[in-house]
A and B are shown apart, each in its own frame.
Chain A
Amino acid sequence: MATRRGFVQAGLGAALGLAAAMGAGGPALAQEAEPIDVAAIYTVPVEQQWVSRIHLALQAAEERGDVTYTFSENVANTDYERVMREYADQGIDLIVGEVFGVERAAREVAADYPDTAFLMGSSFGPAGENFSVFDNWIHEPSYLTGMVAGSMTESNLIGMVGGYPIPEVNRLMHAFMDGAREVNPEVQFLVSFIGSWYDPPAAQEAAFAMIDSGADIMYAERYGVSDAAEERGVYAIGNVIDTQEEYPGTVIASALWHMEPTIDRAIAAVRDGSFTAEDYGPYSYMAHGGGSLAPMSADIIPGDVLDMVEAKRQEILDGLFRVNVNDTEPRSTR
């Protein structure tokens, strides 16, 4: 029964497709104006800092009419491969997502669907012909916010609360620490990981403990840290998203990630048929507009610090200064 119905449907579909193609007067012309189909698969809700940047860039592309955008959020890693295949089977042109928990399986799916373009957040390199990778390479603005923190701390103790010490978290933490050390060799760091991406009360507890033992600047990698800083009246440094408006007088500088350069480049590549396996990581660098320093709180940060950070920002943009990349797990230095 089911087979016969499927056969009839397939036949009908093919006939209709043929008619549509003939009616449109050549598929090539039609494709030029049509938006491409993009689907995103996220393992967390779209409010999560990291994923929200991808979501934002894709929403912008949809508003411009470049793409039709659908997404699945909160997909468990165990379901991830299945959802990828479902979208690929639907004929989606470009699938965006994050494969930190399913690196190998995701590459196998991509190999099975050579006509689909995959652009995935990944700790590893591109694969095959159609599996490109990106990541939040915002170590440059993180370094700059580190300089702010190093200048602003009076206790010479900076607290850092992270989710898990994975490369993309470690890298930004190290860049931040390097920046702080450049302007203040005396500075020490307290580092702790809460073993969850989504436990703001736990992150807040870790931050409270740091503040109570003397930290006067908090590096807010997780939700909950800025709240602790606000409650105890110390400063916080934002990461990935700009929370300065939500925490005025608390978050004084933020390293931002912008996915637009990465997404727009991938869309253009899919459109003109030039999409290949590529590392899109550099499109998150400051030079490409993928990373930036949010406007700093000029009423709190002294002018000479602002000038110094601005000078370093220019050096990075001019290619005169390269921020070190260090993926090892950061540890407390005290």
Chain B
Amino acid sequence: MLGFAVLNPTYETVSDSMLETLDILLTASFWAATLRIATPLIFGTLGELICERAGVLNLGIEGIMVAGALIGWLSVYMGADLVTGVALAFLTGVAFGLLHGALTVPLALSQHVSGIGITLLATSLSYYAYRIILPDVPSPPRIEPFQPIVWPILSEIPLIGPSLFAGQTAMTWLALALVALTAWVLYRTPVGLAVRACGENPAAAEAQGIDVTAVRMGAVAVGSGLMAVGGAFLTMSAFNAFFFEMINGRGWICIALVVFASWRPGKALLGALLFGAFDALQVRLQQTIGGDLPYQLFLMLPFVLSILALIVMSRRAAYPKALMVPYRKGER
């Protein structure tokens, strides 16, 4: 009897939260939020995936996202249009990518050390540039960000209409298109084959007449560009201003998502969406059953669930054989 009395409230909380979760899953607002949260992760994960597929780990991602977030937003603030802003953010990423590439590919330095150095450098440079350009503003200036695209007819479909065809900006559509494009390039074109060969067995690639250094440099440059666009999404689409520390660890999540994805673009999309869904869910659960449980539990939820998913998924993950192995020409 006593046991029942003690157990009963717990049972009610659990069944309540399950019902609440079901309710949440059936709202368009939840799916729209999932995509919004996932978008920067899709860009970042694709970028990291491209680098790693060529054999170069890029821990500069967190800093490159900061730089992209700053440059994209700043360009628009200074008068450029949104598309130019995204392009400039991409080029900023390319620049940092070339730096990371130069240190790790021809110079064959530690990819870990160089990557972390890039993160520190890009982050600090961004803050420095921000303060030099805007020495004294009461609050960060706002720009007019990308607006959601409302598709005719398609937006009328229940659930996916309002969440996908009326609730997302051009940048989210770009991210989704890039998943398909990356998969196509990696698996269906000679360039993709060269990238994968350089990540698996650079000596064999070289023997086929592929310039390993050029391919790796190119992959790191393009991948870093995508990371920067992921950062720019936060200041130009999800929000409308640049804040110090607003990337808030999203780059590190992308590193984990690449492993989750087993270095495959389709699974990268799945992983990013899964993380986005967990995050959108925790925000909503915090508001419905948050009266009973500590809020930290909810904040933890997407990470715990992602770790569990990572454990399940990575059991069969096949990583690029030459990942983090510098290639020195002629060395046995």
Contact = CB atoms under 8 A, between A and B. Distances in A.
Interface in A192-241: 192-202, 204-206, 208-210, 212-213, 223-224, 227, 241
Interface string A303-320: 000000000000000000
Contacts of A195: 295-296, 299
B65 to A, nearest CB: 12
B127 A198 contact: no
B241 interface: yes
A251 to B, nearest CB: 12
A75 to B, nearest CB: 12
Nearest to A242: B138
Interface stretch (B83-91, B201-209, B243-251, B260-268): B243-251
Contact of B33 (A46, A191, A205): A205
A334 B241 contact: no
B239 interface: yes
A223 B243 contact: yes
Contacts of B127: 45, 74
A61 to B, nearest CB: 16
A192 B283 contact: yes
A192 B246 contact: no
B299 A47 contact: no
Interface stretch (B43-51, B106-114, B286-294): B286-294
Interface in B238-286: 238-241, 243-246, 248, 279-280, 283-284, 286
Nearest to A212: B29
Contacts of B234: 201
Give the secondary structure class of A's interface.
Answer: loop
A52 B137 CA distance: 10
B8 interface: no
B74 to A, nearest CB: 15
A224 B239 contact: yes
B162 to A, nearest CB: 11
Interface residues of B, number: 36
B36 A190 contact: no
Given A44-B244, A45-B244, A74-B244, A191 B283 contact: no
Contacts, number: 107
B139 interface: yes
Contacts of B288: 213, 332, 334
A165 interface: yes
A224 B242 CA distance: 11
A220 to B, nearest CB: 12
A57 to B, nearest CB: 13
Contacts of A209: 29, 33, 280, 283-284, 287
Interface string A241-279: 101001000000000000000000000000000000000
A322 interface: no
B290 to A, nearest CB: 5
Contacts of A74: 127, 244
Contact of A205 (B245, B283, B290): B283
Nearest to A190: B287
Interface in B116-169: 127, 131, 136-140, 142
A205 B136 CA distance: 28
A333 interface: yes
A331 interface: yes
B314 interface: no
15 contacts: A45-B243, A49-B139, A52-B138, A192-B290, A192-B298, A193-B299, A195-B296, A196-B245, A199-B245, A208-B33, A223-B139, A223-B243, A243-B139, A331-B291, A334-B287
Given A47-B139, A331-B291, 13 more contacts: A45-B243, A190-B287, A192-B283, A192-B298, A198-B243, A198-B248, A200-B239, A209-B29, A209-B287, A223-B139, A223-B241, A246-B142, A334-B291
Report, nearest first, the 4 A-B pairs whose CB atoms are least far apart. A212-B29, A201-B238, A192-B286, A190-B287
Interface of A: 44-47, 49, 52, 56, 74, 159, 165, 190-202, 204-206, 208-210, 212-213, 223-224, 227, 241, 243, 246, 329, 331-334
